[in-house]
Amino acid sequence: MITPISALLQAVSVAPQSRRHHPHGIIWACVLVASLHALRTQAADEVSLEEEAAFRGAAAVVAPAVVRVEVAGASAIGLGAAAEVAPASGASSGLVVASDGWVIATSFAVPNDASQAVITLPDGNRLVARVAGRDVARGLVLLKMELPAGAAPLLVPEAAPRDTWLVGQWTIALGRGWNAAEPSVGVGILSATNRAWGRAVQTDASVSPANYGGPLLDIHGRVIGILAPLPAEMAGMMAGTELYDSGIGFAVPLEDMFRVLPRLQAGETLAPGIMGIGYPSRDPLTSSPVVATCRAGSPAARAGIRVGDRIIEAAGRPVTRVAHLRHAIAGLYAGDRLELVVERGTAGERVPLGVELVASLPPWRRPVLGIVPRRIALRPDANEAEGKGVEVVWLWPDGPAARAGLLPGDIVTAVRVAPRSGEAEDVLLPVPTAAVLSGFVAGVEPGTVLQLSVDRAGQSSAIDVAVAVQPTFVPAAPVRDIDPATTSIEKLEAAEIARPPLAVLPAATADAPLGVIVYCGLPGEGGGAVSPGAPAGGQAKGNDGLEASLRRNAERWKAAATRYGVAVVLPSSGDPQRWGREDIQSLARALDTLRQRRPIDASRIAFAGSGAGGAFAWLAADALGPAVRGVALLDATLPRQATIQPTEPGRSRAVLFGTVPGGPVAKVDADRRKLEEAGYPVGLLPELVGDGLPVETLCSWVESLGLL
C-alpha cells in the first residue's frame, strides 16, 4: 500500500520527466494534487487528535473540583451532612474554592431567598451546604459544606493568571448540571477579556444555566473564571435582552474571587460601590466625565465633589470618558475607597479626592424650582457651553419659582446654594443650558434655598428659591395657536418595521421642537379608546379595516397634538392577540424614524397605554431607559415582570394612573404605594368615563414634563 507521503515522493520524482516525455503528463499532475490533499488530511487528523487529547486532559485536571448544585427544599432544613435531601428547583454547577468544603455557585442556582443548597460531589456524595456570603455585583454565592469526618480534602483548582490570557486562545467550559457523574464539556475561544466593565471575560464556548457556576478553563487546565449569567446592561445591551443561548458566555475571573474569598467566608455580602454622581449624558461609552449631578449626602458630596468638576484620574489611571470611570468603579465594592483627581473651574485646578463607596442611597425624590423652560432640539454636535441661559416660558402654578417672583421671559444664567450667615459663599455655577441647571437642582435636598442669577429685560438680579419635591398633578400648559390643518398623519416606515406605526405630526422647527407621546392601545390597534372588557383588537379586522381604525384613532389626537406641539405615535402589535418583545424593537426603530422627520425635545418624551397596552408601555419605557420621562397607565396596572428600582438623578420618571368605573382600584393603589416608596412622583387622573381617552390632558402632561 502506498502511503500519502510515499505517493507524494513518487509523484514529485517522476512528474518533471512525464511532463516532457509522456503524452498524458496531466495524469501525473493529478496524482500530485491528490497526494498533497491526502497529506493535508492526514496532518489535520493528527492535529485534531492532539487537540482532543489536550481538551480531555485539561478537563480531567479540574473535573474533581466541579460539583452539582441544587437549592435545598424544606426537608433539608436542620440537617448537616446528609444523604437524603430534597432539591427545590433545577440543577446547576459550582466550583470548589477551598479544600475544607467551600464552593462558589451563582445566584441563578441559589437565589436570594435561599439559605441552603444541595451539593453533589463527583463521587456521588450529597451534602447540604449553607449560604455563607454573596457577591451581588457578580451574581455569585459562597457555600459551605461540612465534610464527613475523615473525608479527604477537596481539590482546589489553579487560577490562570491574567497575564496569560490571550484573545483567541482555547477555552473549555465545564459543568455538572445535566449529569452529576460526568461533567459536560464545551469548547470555544476567549473572545474578550474585559467585559461587563472589567468584571468578566467572554467566550463562545457553550454556556447555559446547567453549567453556570462551573469553571472556564485554559488548555492547561487552569481556571480562567467562573461561568455566570450576566445582566444585559452590564454587557452594554438593552435592558430585557436575553443573553442565554446567544452564542456568547461570560465568566468572572477566579483570581478576583480568590482575592475577596476571606470576606465572603466571614459572611459579608459584597455589593457594588456607589458614588452618587451623574453625568450630562447617559451614554456610558463616549460621554465626558463631567459631574452634572452630585447627590446631597452621597459619598461624592462628602468627599467634596462639585457639579461642574471634570474627573481626570481614577485609581491612578487617566480618565477621559465615563467608560473609564465605570471600569475603575466596577472592580470595587461598597466600603472600598476610590482615589480620584478632578479638574475644577476655568483655571483647571487639580483637586485630589478620596471617595468611600456605599451599597445604596435613599430613594431620591426629584427636587424642582417650578419653572418650565423653552423647548430645545438636541443636535448631535451640540455644545453645552454654547447656551446663553435658561429661558422661562411658563411657571408651575403656585410653585416655588412663582412664589419667589420669577416671571415668564426671565433668563436664569447662574445658580448656587444661597449664602447662609457665617458660612463661606459658594461660587456661582453658570447654567448655559437647562440640562446644567437640572443637574445642579437634582443634587440638593428639597427645601434647600438656591440663589438664581436672573436676567430680566437686560437687568440682572439675584432671586432666592426654595426647591420643592416634584408635583404630581397635571397643570393646564400653554397652548399654540396653530391651524390643525398643518398637522399631518404619516406612517413611520423603516426597512426593519413589519407594521409601521401611524404618527400625528404637527409642524415644528429647530427652535420649536415637538414633545412625544407613544400611545399603546389594545393589541393589534393603535390609539384606541380605553374600554374595560373590550375585545382584543384585530380579531374582526382585515388589513383594510385595521388601517381605517388606525386612521380614525389618529384623528382623535390631531387637535390636542397641534395645540400642545406633541407628536403622537400610535403603534400596533405584530401579533393581534398580544404585545410582545419584538414590538419594543420595532417601536425603537420607529422613534428613530420620527427623529429624522421632526425636531424633538428629548426632555418631553412619554409613553402611555390602556389595558394590555399600558403594561406594554411600562415595559417598553423600561427597555428604552432614561430617555422616557413619563408613563401613563390608563385602566392598567404594573406588569408582573416589572422591577421597581429606587429612583436616582437621570433614572426617574413621572407616572400617571387613570381608572375606569369598576377598574382594578385596589391594585392601582398598591402599585402607587410601591412606586412612591421608590421615589417616583405618582399622580392620579380623574376617573375615566366614556371612551376613557383624555387626549387633551395627556398632551398637556407631555409639555409639563419639561419642568425644572
Residues 594-610: tens digit of each pLDDT: 999 999 999 999 999 99
202 and 310 in a single domain? The answer is: no
The CATH number of whichever domain residue 301 belongs to comes to: 2.30.42.10
| Residue 221 pLDDT > 60 | yes
Which DSSP category does 664 fall into? -
Kindly state whether residue 697 falls inside one of the protein's structural domains.
Answer: yes
| Residue 80 pLDDT > 50 | no
Question: What is the extent of the structural domain holding 433?
Answer: 368-469
Domain end call among 79, 112, 145: 145
CA gap 524, 541 in Å, rounded: 9
Domain end call among 435, 469, 503: 469
Question: Dihedral of the CA atoms 319, 325, 331, 337 (nearest 10)?
Answer: 90
Give the pLDDT band (50/70/90) at residue 283: low
Kindly state whether residue 363 falls inside one of the protein's structural domains.
Answer: no
Distance of CA 206 to the CA centre of its chain: 24
47 and 132 in a single domain? The answer is: no
409 and 545 in a single domain? The answer is: no
540 and 634 in a single domain? The answer is: yes
Write down the residue that cell numbers 480618565 correspond to.
Answer: 319
Kindly state whether residue 361 falls inside one of the protein's structural domains.
Answer: no
511 and 643 in a single domain? The answer is: yes
The CATH number of whichever domain residue 122 belongs to comes to: 2.40.10.10
Kindly state whether residue 156 falls inside one of the protein's structural domains.
Answer: no
22 and 105 in a single domain? The answer is: no
Predicted confidence (pLDDT) per residue in 125-143, tens digit: 999 999 999 999 899 999 9
In total, how many domains does the chain have? Answer: 6
Kindly state whether residue 154 falls inside one of the protein's structural domains.
Answer: no
For residue 467, what pLDDT is reported?
Answer: 94
615 and 662 in a single domain? The answer is: yes
Kindly state whether residue 476 falls inside one of the protein's structural domains.
Answer: no
CA gap 236, 103 in Å, rounded: 29
Strands (E), 281-368: 293-294, 310-314, 317-318, 337-344, 349-356, 367-368
CA gap 588, 585 in Å, rounded: 5
Domain end call among 218, 238, 269: 269
166 and 140 in a single domain? The answer is: no
Residue pair 315/329 in contact (Cβ under 8 Å)? The answer is: no
Residue pair 168/186 in contact (Cβ under 8 Å)? The answer is: no
559 and 661 in a single domain? The answer is: yes
647 and 574 in a single domain? The answer is: yes
436 and 500 in a single domain? The answer is: no
Kindly state whether residue 567 falls inside one of the protein's structural domains.
Answer: yes
What does the mean pLDDT of the chain come to? 83
Kindly state whether residue 295 falls inside one of the protein's structural domains.
Answer: yes
645 and 698 in a single domain? The answer is: yes
Predicted confidence (pLDDT) per residue in 506-525, tens digit: 999 988 999 999 999 888 66
% of the chain with per-residue pLDDT over 90: 46
